[in-house]
Amino acid sequence: MQIQKISDGDKLLLEVSGRVDTTTAPELESCINESTKGVKELVLDLKDMAYISSAGLRVMLKAHKLMSAQGSLIIKNVQSDVMEVFEMTGFSDILRFE
């Protein structure tokens, strides 16, 4: 997994690529926790994310809770296989996708 950070004032874009699984999810969680101080809009661009496990879903839920308290979380450009996971788990009803 790789994470590219692009900051613009109180907006933060994280481009996540590769696999988010039990091995890499803690890195994504740390990145979100450390990078969102003062951020009002967090955008996760998942166009190059090929896989998400339950550990990755947990990170998405934590990010949603964190950003609900201080702004918003938007998830963009989700590949169809990954979107199926969000839909099957009900996360598509909780998270905001564009």
pTM beyond 0.85: the answer is yes
Residue 58: Cβ within 10 Å count = 13
Q: How confident is the model at residue 59 (pLDDT cuts 50, 70, 90)?
A: very high
Residue 92 contacts residue 98 (beta carbons within 8 Å): no
Domain that holds residue 64: 2-94
Please name the residue that has the structure tokens 């988010």: 20
Buried b (16+ CB within 10 A) or exposed e, 16-27: beeebeeebbee
Q: How many domains does the chain have?
A: 1
pLDDT digits (tens, 9 = 90+) for 6-49: 999 999 999 999 999 999 999 999 999 999 999 999 999 999 99
Residues in the chain: 98
CATH number, position 11: 3.30.750.24
